[in-house]
Structure 1
């Protein structure tokens, strides 16, 4: 540890401070005893610090590791928000309210042209599900954020009281919400072998955003066993066949 401190002094590194819990590592025991330490921290030299003097480092909570991740926000960095289109989420099926919303819309009797009646019901069903999701089921990420905030408060209380039962209870609730989040990314990624236990949501996210590339037809074999290698030839081969 002393050699590590010597390297920090030799390089002129500055501790950038933090926002959040004062500890970044924790260990909880079944008897209620806990250990807390600040092991992870952000360091920078003077030149970097002068350019990004208002950089903030947040200590985030983690239910998958005993180390807290560090979220570093350099001064001036803005992340634009993205409005997402409506999509039915498979994780909604775990709540009876989803079935009630669909049944209510589908059994409603409103006068309409038979040719567009089904289309209108589908659109109304989507709108009602969005409202239900926002008011009752709730956004998984929003719930995770609230639970993690409660977890931070519970951890602070556990440091004072030396009792971690509330911390362990909240961690269990967070695990359930994280499982719903995994199911969401599983649906979007369309990776069938995810059922075998792989729960890397970052990987699923990459697969979901690259689905269009996977579905592209770059070449196709003709009836005479020759390959069509460009898009014009592929189009001609498909048109001729069908």
Structure 2
């Protein structure tokens, strides 16, 4: 994307393509510092974890580990513990859904599979779909709020489109 003059002017310039997220365009980040800086992502609590007994125990232990710390340091400790736990668990609901789908397909094709197994796989798959939906609902809301605070045109357009969807223009009888 650069010609030789640009490279001579900015010898430490580097470009990186980011992932497609929320758009069909790929963002391009260009930096001019030769040293790679370590950045930390914004922490957002995943609502799917609120009923997880492991996470509840983890938060309890992190909160009470140092009772003399201030509230903000205790919250930071909880956040760090949750982030570390999530990274180790590698919670990827798409993998879970794919695995459960394959298991269900296998059980349905096998005539010797008991109905209880098929029912439990269906129930587990439904739960996985609900968790995936909750994740994307939370994420889309966060993106909407973040973009809405910075861009009033977007905020008003999103509000108008939601009003249009919620509006009943015609009621028909049988």
TM-score normalised by structure 1 residue count:
0.38
3-state SS, counterpart of residue 152 of structure 2:
coil
Runs of 5+ consecutive residues of structure 1 not aligned to the other structure: 1-79, 191-207, 219-242
1:126-137 correspondence to structure 2 within 5 Å: 126-135=79-88
Give the counterpart of 2:56 among 81, 99, 103.
99
Report the Cα distance in structure 2 between the residues aligned to 1:81 and 1:152, rounded to whole angstroms.
31
Report the Cα distance in structure 2 between the residues aligned to 1:131 and 1:212, rounded to whole angstroms.
25
Aligned position for 1:67? none
1:6-17 correspondence to structure 2 within 5 Å: none
Give the counterpart of 2:108 among 146, 150, 155.
155
User: Would you tell me which structure has more helix in proportion to its own residues?
Assistant: 2
Report the Cα distance in structure 1 between the residues aligned to 2:20 and 2:102, rounded to whole angstroms.
22
How many residue pairs end up in the alignment?
116
Q: Is the 8 A contact 1:140 1:177 kept in 2?
A: yes
Q: In 2 relative to 1, CA 136–180 (structure 1 residues): closer, same or farther, beyond 3 Å?
A: same
Deviations 1:142-188 (A, max 9, x none): 322322232233234x2xx2757233431221001111122222222
Q: Is the 8 A contact 2:97 2:129 kept in 1?
A: yes
User: Would you tell me which structure has more strand in proportion to its own residues?
Assistant: 1
Deviations 1:26-81 (A, max 9, x none): xxxxxxxxxxxxxxxxxxxxxxxxxxxxxxxxxxxxxxxxxxxxxxxxxxxxxx69
Q: In 2 relative to 1, CA 211–132 (structure 1 residues): closer, same or farther, beyond 3 Å?
A: same
Larger Rg: 1
Q: Is the 8 A contact 1:155 1:164 kept in 2?
A: no
TM-score normalised by structure 2 residue count:
0.50
Report the Cα distance in structure 2 between the residues aligned to 1:90 and 1:110, rounded to whole angstroms.
26
Report the Cα distance in structure 2 between the residues aligned to 1:129 and 1:118, rounded to whole angstroms.
16
User: Please, what is the CA RMSD of the aligned residues?
Assistant: 3.5
Deviation at 1:211, TM superposition (A): 3.7
Deviation at 1:130, TM superposition (A): 2.5
3-state SS, counterpart of residue 94 of structure 1:
coil
Deviation at 1:136, TM superposition (A): 5.7
Q: In 2 relative to 1, CA 211–110 (structure 1 residues): closer, same or farther, beyond 3 Å?
A: closer
Aligned position for 2:166? none
Runs of 5+ consecutive residues of structure 2 not aligned to the other structure: 1-18, 22-39, 154-174
- 1:178 lines up with 2:113 in the alignment: no
